[in-house]
A and B are shown apart, each in its own frame.
Chain A
Amino acid sequence: MILLNCIGTALMLLAEGTMLHRLITRSEEERAIGVLLGYPLGVFINALVFFSLHLLHIPFNSYLSVFGAHGILIATFFTLLWRAELSLLKNFPVKSLFSFSLPKSPLERVFFFVALLFLIVILLTSFVTAATLPMFYWDSFSHWALRSKVTLDAGSFVTEGVIQPQYPILFHSIQMLFSLSQFRDQVVNTATFLLSLTSLCSLFLFVRDRRDSFCALILLMLLTGIPLIAIHLRQGMGDIHILLYVLLSAMLLEQALTSRERSAFLLSAIFVSASAWAKYEGLYFGVLPWLAIVSIDALRNRSPWENIRFGILPALLLTIPWPLLTLLRGLNLSAHGGSLAFHPEAIPLIFEQLFTLGSFGIIWWVITLLLPLLLWFERRRLVQFFLEHPVLFWGCISFILLLGVYIFTNDVRGLIHRDNFSRAMLLPALLFTYAIGMEGYKRFYSPHPNLSRSVS
């Protein structure tokens, strides 16, 4: 019964998100990836549903209110699809979901199968941990999962009895949706693992369609293979979901800026907003850099209206509600405060955490070696290079912002007490890895990447 309930709820979110994706893209080519993006989209819609119920003072601890709201949304999406004569299942390209090509050279095959093995180990151990073990980490006990229990009990987003009531609600909303009958750690962890899994699979399909299966697999292995990411994939906290939403937004933003596709723009805006509903870091290091990149692009292309209509406006409209409610309730947007002061003691600690400890493995060494090399080769057209690679640009902005936060504000405590610095730095690490991986793969096979750019 629990399993059926869990599967049914997951399928509902998947269907909701897939319908929304289909309505936005209306493209036949995007249908396969649309199914995988459906779950992350559905999870975001669910957060908005819980938020709306809270605003309307409708208690969300009953099946009727929550599933009623979802039912209305599904019916609306279905009607819109029907009126637009868009089918969800008819002629669905099942083959494109499972089409993989093996590399031809023996060395590449070795890398391919080793990466596949590593990926299976990471995902399998994460799934087994999420699906069979109870909550395990301190922050899950003290904040993440406890807030879900307290909120579900109260039927609204209360400020009493929870540690950080200003924190956004995407993570808690999905936990509550799967726990309306009973809160079970394994069920909620599986539900959030599914969010990570579908986001990663979407990323795989996206890269596969733009490069090939080999590149997609290696890149996925590099991203999930960062030790702290592999740990966070076991669920229990919200950080992994900011990272994956930002990554989905980044890959779609790159597509939007190169192809000028409105749907990619809109989806990128939706995903970056979703990251801000997972945790406030998504707002500061996701939404703000995203707005900066889209604004620069608007000024550069002299077509600001398109960027505003399909990017900036939806991103702001979808992001603002929760921070606004938080401010109206008299709470701070940051749980840590934010007084300004120079903290030189942070600098050696930053080097220690990025380069010597085990949280990142050797990924920051690789970034430090490859990024300057890449930038040196592009030194004559550096600005152009950054504008053509928004993910890299985003990585740089978020990295600089994070350094600023930890060196110039009292958030330095998170660095000194080893609380949150490494977790925060996962965002630029993933963006850099993705950008360098994509660009590196292109240059690995093409001596003239600038000529082949239009092809890719």
Chain B
Amino acid sequence: MKKSLLLIVLSILLLGGEQLHAEEGSLLLPAEHAYSNEEALASFVRLLKPTPEHDIYFDPIKADQLNEGSHLRIFYQSKNPVPVEFGPLGMVAGDILSAVLPPAEQGDVLLPLAPSPSWRAGAKGIFLKVYGKIGEESRIQKLRVENHLSIFQRFVSYIHQPFSPERFTYSTMSELAGYRMGGASLAVLIGILIGFIIVLLIAIPFFRQQRKFPSQHIILRNAFLTCLCFLFLYEARFLIDLTAYTVRLEREWFTEGRLGHAGDIYQIADAVLERVAEKRDTPVLLCNPEIATPLRYLIYPTPLLSPEELVNTTSALAITNRVWDPSTKSFQCTDFRFDGTVIRLFRDGAVLAGPPSDL
């Protein structure tokens, strides 16, 4: 009797979430953990193909009144695919997840929150960033947070979370986000565990040997060994990501000429330098200031002009973005348009344009 009761309780615990999910009619989408914010945004741009008239925008939604739960349910309307970034409210920036909602008249999707290492059961509120094109806006009708995980599934999610890869970005040289488990920092959890083990290794002999502390030598020896073991474990975890990151960068560089979060910037610089080599001292007009710093370095000493610096200067080359058609003849540069020809289009929608006659 007791055994069968236990079995029933266990099966409810283990399968409860799955049963609940099966009852609902929503579409369960996988959540992705992008390598970096820049790369996630670049993939959204490639998907939506925004133009200067219909530029990409995002709506940040902070919903702190929603219930706690494991999945975010979104009811929406959209003609285009809807890229979204989401995660638990108050998460570490690097733990944000992304997904692409399919176009739908009456869309209903379910997005898992648990793959974000900042997620833990019981925490209320979500953060959602909905991307779209101006003039072709999607409509988010309703948001709901639901619980679709059994206790066992939550436990499995917690175990998975520290294996979520470290994000490497432009600012990696200054800070690494590290790993989390159930919303808590893995470094904190390990630090507390090390402290606990050291205390235990002092306390056990203390109570066994008539309340006499072990010698300093033994205490230090145990403490050093415990710390060393955990340092090795943490290091092993980090080196998996570091190696994978290196392999990914090498592959990208040698196959596509791109480099992680820097995207097309090296190809743009090469194309500019190639043109400049043909026509010496050509000033280059840059219309998208976000790539000015790397580009200025990569094409040095070729001068790079911003639209404000363009006064009385005839620019022969221009770099702008949001162009997807190679036959484009008219380009937008901040608040003015100019005529020209496409010299080269890049994967993320950037373009190197020359004078109209230049073929």
A228, B173: Cα distance in complex, Å: 7
CB neighbours of B178 from chain A (8 A): 227, 356-359, 361
CB neighbours of B298 from chain A (8 A): 134, 141
Query: Distance in Å from the Cβ of B39 to the closest Cβ of chain A?
Result: 14
Q: Of B166, B223, B297, B300, which contacts A373 at CB under 8 A?
A: B223
Does A122 lie within 8 Å of B242, measured CB to CB?
Answer: yes
Task: Tell me if A128 counts as interface (CB < 8 A to partner B).
Answer: yes
Query: Distance in Å from the Cβ of B189 to the closest Cβ of chain A?
Result: 10
CB neighbours of B194 from chain A (8 A): 362, 365-366, 369
A192, B196: Cα distance in complex, Å: 42
Task: Tell me if B190 counts as interface (CB < 8 A to partner A).
Answer: yes
Task: Tell me if A273 counts as interface (CB < 8 A to partner B).
Answer: no
Task: Tell me if B293 counts as interface (CB < 8 A to partner A).
Answer: yes
Known: A122-B242, A146-B300. A365 touches B187 (CB 8 A): yes
Interface size on B, residues (CB 8 A): 57
Q: Of B177, B232, B243, B253, which contacts A125 at CB under 8 A?
A: B243
Known: A358-B176, A363-B231. A145 touches B297 (CB 8 A): yes
Does B239 lie within 8 Å of A121, measured CB to CB?
Answer: yes
CB neighbours of A446 from chain B (8 A): 217
Determine the residue in chain B with the shortest Cβ distance to A145. Answer: B297
A360, B187: Cα distance in complex, Å: 9
Task: Tell me if B259 counts as interface (CB < 8 A to partner A).
Answer: yes
Does A121 lie within 8 Å of B243, measured CB to CB?
Answer: yes
Interface residues of B in 171-186 (CB under 8 A from A): 171-179, 185
A142, B166: Cα distance in complex, Å: 25
Interface residues of A in 344-366 (CB under 8 A from B): 353, 355-363, 365-366
Determine the residue in chain B with the shortest Cβ distance to A363. Answer: B231
Known: A146-B297, A355-B188, A443-B220. A231 touches B230 (CB 8 A): no
Contact with B along A418-439 (1 / 0, CB 8 A): 1110110000000000000000
CB neighbours of A118 from chain B (8 A): 232, 235-236, 239
CB neighbours of A222 from chain B (8 A): 231
Query: Distance in Å from the Cβ of B220 to the closest Cβ of chain A?
Result: 5
Q: Of B171, B195, B227, which contacts A138 at CB under 8 A?
A: B171
A16, B221: Cα distance in complex, Å: 43
A446, B216: Cα distance in complex, Å: 11
CB neighbours of B236 from chain A (8 A): 118
Determine the residue in chain B with the shortest Cβ distance to A352. Answer: B185
Q: Of B188, B235, B297, which contacts A135 at CB under 8 A?
A: B297
CB neighbours of A139 from chain B (8 A): 173
Interface residues of B in 231-276 (CB under 8 A from A): 231-232, 234-236, 238-239, 242-243, 246, 249-250, 253-254, 259-260, 262, 266
Known: A137-B172, A146-B297, A357-B177. A111 touches B228 (CB 8 A): yes
A93, B303: Cα distance in complex, Å: 53
CB neighbours of B243 from chain A (8 A): 121, 125
Does B293 lie within 8 Å of A362, measured CB to CB?
Answer: no
Task: Tell me if A330 counts as interface (CB < 8 A to partner B).
Answer: no
Q: Which 3 A-B pairs have the closest CB atoms?
A: A358-B178, A365-B191, A358-B176
Could you list which residues of chain A lie within 8 angstroms of chain B, going by C-beta atoms?
A: 111, 114-115, 118, 121-122, 125, 128-129, 132-142, 145-146, 149-150, 153, 218, 221-222, 225, 227-228, 230-232, 236-237, 239, 353, 355-363, 365-366, 368-370, 373-374, 377, 418-420, 422-423, 440, 443-444, 446-447
**Chain A to chain B contacts (Cβ below 8 Å), 26 pairs:** A118-B239, A121-B243, A122-B242, A129-B246, A132-B250, A134-B266, A137-B173, A138-B293, A146-B297, A218-B228, A227-B242, A237-B173, A239-B173, A357-B187, A358-B238, A359-B178, A361-B234, A362-B191, A362-B234, A363-B231, A366-B230, A373-B220, A374-B220, A377-B220, A443-B217, A443-B221
